[in-house]
Every structure is written in structure tokens, then in C-alpha cells.
Amino acid sequence: MGEHVLVTGGAGFVGSHLVDALLAQGHQVRVLDSLEPQVHGPSGGALAYLNSHAELVRGSVTDAAAVARALEGVDVVFHEAALVGVGQSMYDIVRYCQVNTVGAAILLEQVVKRRDRIRKVVVASSMSVYGEGAYRTLQGEMRSPRVRSRDLLERGEWELRDAVTGAPLEPLPTPETKPLQPTSVPHSHRRAALFQHLWRAPGAVEPLHRHRGDLFSARVEQQAAAHLRGWAATPGLHPRVRHRGGQFAGAGH
């Protein structure tokens, strides 16, 4: 028999596909989504792609009353709601922290009040919480280097070296056991183990990385690119784009 499931951010790219999958498995699904205009457009009208068998509750995770209503009768929670866009977060700091950090806290607070009913919380995380990826030395020892220093960037030295020997490090696929080193505003809130630590209940963390496909909204990234072009056109401002220039990719599919 299916369960009652809440998906925060269920009208988003990842969330809407998750809603489809849950409904296909026979669950009853409720969506809590603010329908952020930057992602869904200014009209805020009905979403043709959102599964009609899901119940849509329009509201923000920053609204405790809306979260409480959305949690009524729920057995499992998938927390996907968040503002995304690293570039924008670096200057729109308060709004990102309010939604991503305070919103997560409000949801957790409401979940704790219903711990006798809610059996599991699954929290969306990001590969960016790890900062630099995992590396190993020439001798095969694992290393978790800190973010590159400004001096290295200024010198154009992109390859990381062992802090002890100075020898080059070899990049490796990053395991979930790597120490967390979030380096941006939207990802610093995603230490999602907080949910399990405080709630003391079964849970899971799903690390996400640059998903693309049907229903993906590129508005946030387009806006960041527009800001960069604007800065480049401003007299006296010269934005610098630092990159190693090679074909090495930091992600796999």
C-alpha cells in the first residue's frame, strides 16, 4: 500500500520527475512549492507538466504555517526546495540564506513535532558541499586539499600539489566519506546530516550535481551570464575568468 509523501520543491526540475516516479509506485503525493518566478516564469499559473494526480500546495518553506499544512497526514518527506545558482548567491546572500538555511530549519522544526507519524526524511544535497574533490599522492595516499589560494590562482597554477611534499596530486572520484568543505552560499546550508542528527530517525541524503533534461530551467544560469556581460561592459570594471583552459572535466555522467 502506498504512503502519503510530501515533496518540497516538487514543481522543480528534479522534484517534478520525483513526483512522477512516486505516483507511478502508487504513493499519494503532495507538492509544496513557491513557484519561484525566476524558475517558473512571472505568471505563476498552473504548471502543465506537473502531474495532475499530485496535490499542489503553493507556499514557501520559509512559511511555517504553509509547511505545517503541507505536512498534515504525511509519512515521508523529500526536501528538494532550495534557491540555486552559485553566482547569484554570492551577492543575493540574505535571500539565499533565508530560503535554503532558514527554510530547512523551519521544515525540520515542523517535522520534529510530527516524529510519531513521519518515518523518513530524504534531503537533497549537492556535490559542491565537498569543495575540492578527492586526490591521491604518487604513493597512493588519499588527500582532501583545501580550496585553491588566491596566490595560486594569480599565478595560473591550476594543478593541486601535496602540501607536504609539493608533488602533483592525482584527482580521484570523490567518495561520500570525504570531509565537507562547502565554498558557496547555497551549498553551505546543505550539511543535511543535521536532519538525521537532530531528529534521530531514518533518513537519507541525495547528492545532486548539475542535472539537465526535460523541464530544466536555465533562467538562473542565464541571469548570472547576463550579470557577467553587464560587468564586462561597465567602464572601469574588468571581470576575470580563471580556468585551466584544458579539457579535463571535474564531473562524470
Please write down the HEC assignment for all residues of the chain. CCCEEEEECCCCHHHHHHHHHHHHCCCEEEEEECCCHHHHCCCCCCCCCCCCCCEEEECCCCCHHHHHHHCCCCCEEEECCCCCCHHHHCCCHHHHHHHHHHHHHHHHHHHHCCCCCCCEEEEEEEHHHHCCCEEECCCCCEECCCCCCHHHHHHCCCCCECCCCCCECEEECCCCCCCCCCCCHHHHCCCCHHHHHHHCCCEEEEEECCCCCCCCCCHHHHHHHHHHHHHHCCCCCCCCCCCCCCCCCCCCC
Q: Reply yes or no on whether the pLDDT at 201 is more than 80.
A: no
Same domain (yes/no): 84, 109: yes
Average the pLDDT over 72-82 and give the result: 94
247 within some domain: no
101 within some domain: yes
Write out the residue range of the structural domain in which residue 139 sits: 132-178
Same domain (yes/no): 158, 64: no
pLDDT, residue 144, reads 83
Same domain (yes/no): 105, 162: no
Q: Any bridge partners for residue 31, and if so which?
A: 7, 56
pLDDT, residue 183, reads 67
Same domain (yes/no): 169, 227: no
Q: Reply yes or no on whether the pLDDT at 181 is more than 80.
A: no
Q: Reply yes or no on whether the pLDDT at 218 is more than 70.
A: no
pLDDT, residue 172, reads 84
> What pLDDT digit, counting tens, does each position of 114-141 carry?
989 999 998 887 777 777 788 899 888 8
Q: Reply yes or no on whether the pLDDT at 43 is more than 90.
A: no
Same domain (yes/no): 208, 85: yes
Same domain (yes/no): 93, 158: no
186 within some domain: yes
pLDDT, residue 175, reads 79
d(CA 156, CA 1): 58
Same domain (yes/no): 23, 94: yes
pLDDT, residue 209, reads 47
Q: Which residue has the higher pLDDT, 242 or 137?
A: 137
241 within some domain: no
Same domain (yes/no): 30, 119: yes
Q: How confident is the model at residue 252 (pLDDT cuts 50, 70, 90)?
A: very low
Same domain (yes/no): 46, 103: yes
- CATH code assigned at 184: 3.40.50.720
Q: Which residue has the higher pLDDT, 45 or 120?
A: 120
Q: How confident is the model at residue 193 (pLDDT cuts 50, 70, 90)?
A: very low
124 within some domain: yes
Q: Any bridge partners for residue 204, and if so which?
A: 122
pLDDT, residue 240, reads 63
Provide the number of structural domains found in the chain: 2
240 within some domain: no
Same domain (yes/no): 171, 82: no
Same domain (yes/no): 108, 150: no
pLDDT, residue 16, reads 92
Q: Reply yes or no on whether the pLDDT at 204 is more than 60.
A: no
Same domain (yes/no): 52, 173: no
